[in-house]
A and B are shown apart, each in its own frame.
Chain A
Amino acid sequence: MKIFKKLATAAALSASLLVAPQAYAAPDVKIGVTFPLSGNSGNAGKSAVAAIEVAAEIINKPHPGLESLPLGAGVGLPNLGGAKIKLVIADHQGSPSEGQAQTLRLITQEKVAGMVGAYQSAVALTATAIAERYGVPFIVGDGVAANITERGFKWTFRTTPIASDFANAYMEFLGELKKAGHPGDKVAIVFENTDYGVSVSGTIREIAKKRGVNIVADIAYSANGADVSAQVLQLKEKKPDAIIFISYTSDAILYMKTLKSLDYRPQLIIGDNSGFSDPAFIKAVGELAEGAINRSAWSIGAKDSVTWRINELFKAKTGQDMDDTSGRDMQAFFVLAEAINRAGSTKPEAIQTALQKTDLKANQLMMGYNGVKFDAKGQNVLASAYLIQLINSQYVSIWPATAAEKPLVYPFKGWK
């Protein structure tokens, strides 16, 4: 009996030794961040990382005017003794296997409490799979491919709206256009043929069919192609009422230039984020794409508002305004941090439970979602987006009416 007691005390003491460091020293809480920092999407990845770094700074240090955000007080994580957040950043180079390897490293070697990533859907698939295997929460901030949350995973959470949300938004918008007397029946979809373009276009097609919208042209192209004249000529022939582009930056730029050189001004252009949101796009062809519509859940907002201040911090760091994708990743990070704080612990199961119970309202977010609440699959059911339009080389929100800063300019103006 005595021996048993001794053993029990010894066990308890050793257990407490393991747990203790977290109790009194409030050590940093590590969060793993993986994005492509080299290769084709290096720019987007760096931007996302910069956004998350800004978010970590907001949590760790007080910044005026941001108190309404959860953890905006800037004192670290209050329920963990004011522990600061420490980011561990890994470049997955856009490769699914590297994404998995880096995630594994962050989980097993760096012992991160949670992960945020990953930009490319293909990488998100493998990275979340390994997190699932090891039982560590992974928040996907920006991958919109449907299958990321369709695998029955319990450790993957996604805060961003997905392809079906956007498709519904586009179709509703077109429906309202029709009500206003503009044509909105014939739609063309032009998409680059890797997983991003294919999965999003597939969803759009499905939903368009359900709503009785006619897809007059369905053009898949290679993002690395040198020339898109034939595609534009095809579009010119079919005369759609609206063209939805699902493109990366270089091809989006090429399309705008080709539209001009072949003198084809479509009635309406909708760009599905990505290339159209890249500042390089605006810089290169902003004057040719006047009136192009994009989707976003991020709007800088009025001066001195929470979003405006966040944008200032981002601008100070990178020299550019924050874009929608980086914003979404920042939001994912905030959600994770908030859940860790609510859990009051860095134990994976506790964080998982906290995430499952997440219920953030719209005014607690910096993105324009209706809120954050995860369903059983881990998808945020309150995710939403609004449509923005490029006016004078700046995007302003135009839809839905509740979020519109300016009215829609119709039809597509394009170049002078």
Chain B
Amino acid sequence: MADARPTSRPMLATHALARHFGGLVAVRDVSIALHRGELHAVIGPNGAGKTTLVNMLSGEIRPTAGRIELDGREVAGEPAWRMTRAGVGRSFQRTNIFPTLPVLENVRLAVQAVSTAPVRPFHRGPSHQGLIDKAQATLQRVGLGGTADRLAGALSHGEQRQLEIAMTLAGDPKVLLLDEPLAGMGPEESERLTGLLQGLAREHAVLLIEHDMDFVFAVADWMTVMAEGTVLAEGKPSAIRANTAVQEAYLGGHA
């Protein structure tokens, strides 16, 4: 099934990753590899363990068993802030922003987090302006350039989703974990974001969770299908579309 994939060392790889919540096995025996320049989509029905997987990769929760290697370094069990600083950026399925702060400040905090934060927290001056410039540039990139001074909570739902992406990008991650970035977006906004995601995939290793199958098959370079906490199949979108086991378990004759 394995078509041609990059043979270089993966940017992020898991080995037999598992997570139990009490007696419930949310994720078991998941081994996937994210490569730079590849948009890797993870699909599966609700409760398949997709978000739990992302939560482990981003350091939100600790794996019960298994390994996570970031650029060859073992990182399983590291806290979220350290994972981010090591180059793993994530966006959240449910919008997770600072609603009472201006849009620019939302992104500026993200830039600050990975730049001067622990070293010179009281520093002001040029580097401070640098943070603002970078935040402004990131906002332009996701198409929110005109909203910098508004409060984040006053943005439309679609704009908040874009802001969510901007905050993830602002930390200059090597690996991007995007948990349903299009949820609740209008067609115009989704289109713009589709272009952005494809551009990002050229320079990053991107893991994408998404329910919109048309979108996933259009943008993904590689796909992993999860069901009941484990990997059901993986391969190129064309192979996944043709896979009868996947069709039965999940796609329901969609393809």
Asked if A pairs with B, the answer is: no
Q: Interface residues, chain A, CB within 8 Å of chain B?
A: none
